[in-house]
Amino acid sequence: MVIGHRFFGTTGTASAPFNGGRTTTHEVGHWLNLLHIWGDDDNGCNGSDLVEDTPNSGGPNFQTPTFPRLSCSNGPDGDMFVNYMDYTDDKSMFMFTRGQVARMDATLDSARSTFNGA
């Protein structure tokens, strides 16, 4: 995992639209065993992030989408572009799902257990 200084943190060289600290949140999500919400299948609508409560997306979302952003027959709510595991601007990201939190917890109890004292 490598994070460029222009996309890390909220001050200094961090620049909009990636100056809200969300790039780090996204990358730590990967470190804790989360996948992108579209399942990295090149816009095929067949991928999975292996988490039940995130709807599949046709691919990454960019900038600041408006609700709903539909793909992969995932209406009426559409893509969960507010999720940290998408590619939107920092101001659009604000959540992990309960399933993603459970997956990260499971990783902290297994592969990354040295980080939580387990």
Catalytic residues: 27
Q: What is the DSSP letter of 99?
A: H
d(C-alpha 5, C-alpha 27), whole Å: 14
Contact between 90 and 20 under an 8 Å Cβ cutoff? The reply is yes
Helix (H, G, I), strand (E, B) or coil at 106: helix
Token pair for 51: 């988490």
